[in-house]
Amino acid sequence: MSDNYIIEIRPKSVGITVQAGVVIRDGRGFRFFAATDAFNSLEGQLFKNPKAAERAALCHVADIAAPRATGNRLSQNLKPRAQHVGFIAENQGSMEN
């Protein structure tokens, strides 16, 4: 299993693939670093594995998109954060599991 993974999701409410963030192995889990403001609430959380982080990102999008029928605010928050642009995990792997 690799030490770093990019977490990308394709929520039905948005209709495009979105980079939610990256997870980096941190001890016995994987720490999440948000790629966009929409995922700030997941920043720094520790997950058992990359798939758990992906599920959390999908649930988070569903939670914030549900009360907003227009989705305008969600779309605005999906813009990349400058401080994370260019941060690429050196040991990318598939998220099989």
Put the strands of the sheet holding 4-9 in their side by side order: 4-9, 18-26, 29-34, 46-47
> What does pTM read for this prediction?
0.67
Domain limits for position 17: 4-84
Instruction: Encode pLDDT of 18-45 as tens digits.
Output: 899 999 999 999 999 999 998 999 999 9
Question: What's the number of domains the chain is made of?
Answer: 1
Residue 16 banded pLDDT, cuts 50, 70, 90: confident
**pLDDT score recorded for residue 10:** 86
Question: For residue 57, which amino acid is it?
Answer: A
Instruction: Encode pLDDT of 40-77 as tens digits.
Output: 999 999 999 999 999 999 999 887 766 655 545 555 55
**pLDDT score recorded for residue 66:** 67
Task: Find the angle CA(44)-CA(49)-CA(55) to the nearest 5 degrees.
Answer: 80
Within a domain: residue 93?
no
Within a domain: residue 96?
no
Residue 40 DSSP label: G
Within a domain: residue 97?
no
Within a domain: residue 56?
yes
